[in-house]
Amino acid sequence: MAAFFPSELEWPYAAAGGIENRTYPWPDGQNPSSSFAIYGYCGSGGSLECLSKDIPNVGKAKDGLGKWGQLDLAGSMWEWVLDNHSDFFPQDPCVDCADVNDGTARVIRGGSWKEDTTALQSANRNSYDPPISAWQNVGIRCARLAL
């Protein structure tokens, strides 16, 4: 089975708990806190400059568990998705509709340890220029199809 980046439609579907349409990856009614997501600081007691050594450990916020057992869908690191950024966002129903044409920016999702709670919302999206260099708060999440 091959690993791949989730598309811009797959990522928020997972973060919102599918048809539950959660505000954050964890069940609705629970506001963000450090036990749900790493956000709003440099983590690890690091410096004010947010250096590479300040990147939080994967899975540190255990209460932020998504519907299907995923951790870190909010906060910690922004995550690249497969799609290029555009103002158009695909609508359901949609089959194989990832925007993989040449573009100037790629979509990122999930917020990071540097952002506030608005960046943690499942529906939030942002973009950066193509990943030709490293950012300390942008990473990847590989996804796979269930058998």
Tens digits of per-residue pLDDT, 48-83? 667 777 777 888 899 999 999 999 999 988 998 888
The pLDDT of 93-107, averaged and rounded, is 75
Tens digits of per-residue pLDDT, 10-32? 899 999 999 999 999 999 888 88
In angstroms, the CA 15 to CA 123 distance is 8
The count of residues in the chain is 147
| Three-state SS at 10 | helix
CA distances from 64 to 36, 43, 105, 124 (A): 4, 16, 28, 17
Neighbouring-strand partners of residue 106:
84, 128
Grade residue 42 by pLDDT with cuts at 50, 70 and 90: low
Number of domains forming the structure of the chain: 1
Residue 123, pLDDT above cutoff 80 = yes
CATH of the domain at 35: 3.90.1580.10
Which range of residues forms the domain containing residue 119? 1-147
